[in-house]
Amino acid sequence: MKKIAVIYHSGYGHTAHFAKHVAEGASQTKLVSVDLITSDEASKKIDSLTAYDGFIWGSPTYMGNVSGPFKTFMDATSAAWMKGSWKNKWGAGFTVSGSPSGDKQSTLISMAILAAQQGMFWMPLGINNESYSGVKPEDAANRLGSSLGAMATASNEAAETAFVAGDLKTAKLFGARFAEVVASH
Ligand SMILES: Cc1cc2nc3c(=O)[nH]c(=O)nc-3n(C[C@H](O)[C@H](O)[C@H](O)COP(=O)(O)O)c2cc1C
């Protein structure tokens, strides 16, 4: 069975909550094994991450881009870049921000560039905005209309109540799609 890792940073628990839903969606397919790893932990074991077939990266959007700790992880992956050891692996990304836009597209672009630098294949979200087919916006998958990766907006409440249903649905569908893509290539 192929292996994937969901590698994320979360300062206040919101991105961690979204990451759990992504991992759940991937696990429920029973097509791959899934590990949830913080970016701090991942930064310390870049070499051992070569055992994975794909990575889903997650970061909150801080000041219009990935968070500082997630960037530390990105920089640590230069050890894999030197060896070309992540070439042809699969990658995908998600981000959580406070504002509906919040400039979070930049966060996904940074992750996609990291995948390109590593010679990896990038999986776009590939989920239609369900509000176009009549689903109430707050319940709709990909209600924010993202393409490059998964996006969510979280309120300032605790993570358990900070998300609308549509964003958590997106997380699960996104994780499942990544598992299917990795398992079939
Ligand atoms: C230092 C910092 C910078 C932030 N910058 C942005 C931003 O640029 N755009 C935005 O919409 N939200 C911004 N936020 C809000 C966070 O993206 C939001 O609270 C998110 O849910 C935090 O995720 P976390 O709990 O996983 O850290 C920022 C929060 C912090 C702490």
| Residue 44 Ramachandran class (φ > 0 left, ψ -120 to 50 alpha, else beta) | alpha
The answer to whether 15 and 162 have CB atoms below 8 angstroms apart is no
The tens digit of pLDDT for each residue in 101-121 reads 999 999 999 999 999 999 999
| Helix H or strand E encompassing 155 | none
DSSP code for 124: P
Bridge partners of residue 92, in order along the sequence: 56
| Residues of the chain falling short of pLDDT 50 | none
For residue 37 the two structure tokens come to 């790893």
Helix (H) or strand (E) holding 64: none
Q: How far is the CA of 60 from the centre of ligand 1 (A)?
A: 6
Ligand 1 pocket test, candidate residues 14, 36, 61, most atoms within 8 A of CB = 61
Report pLDDT digits (tens) over 50-78.
999 999 999 999 999 999 999 999 999 99
Which pLDDT belongs to residue 56? 99
Cβ-in-10-Å burial (0-12, 13-18, 19+) of 24 comes to middle
Distance 31 CA to ligand 1 centre (A): 33
Which atom of ligand 1 is nearest the CA belonging to 159? 25
What residue's CA is closest to ligand 1, atom 31? 62
Atom number in ligand 1 closest to CA 97: 17
User: Count of domains in the chain?
Assistant: 1
Our CA angle for 144, 10, 124, nearest 5°, is 40
- φ, ψ (nearest 5 deg) of residue 78: -60, -25
Q: Please tell me the distance from the alpha carbon of residue 74 to that of residue 71, in angstroms, as a whole number.
A: 5
Full residue range of the structural domain in which residue 102 is found: 2-183
CATH number at residue 104: 3.40.50.360
Beta strands 32-38 and 54-62 are unpaired
Which two structure tokens, joined as six digits, stand for 56?
A: 């889903």
Residues near ligand 1 (Cβ within 6 A): 10-15, 60-64, 96-99, 102-103, 154
Span from the CA of 62 to the centroid of ligand 1 (angstroms): 5
Interatomic CA distance for residues 19 and 39, integer angstroms: 12
pLDDT of amino acid 70: 98
Task: Find the 2 Cα to ligand 1 centroid distance in Å.
Answer: 33
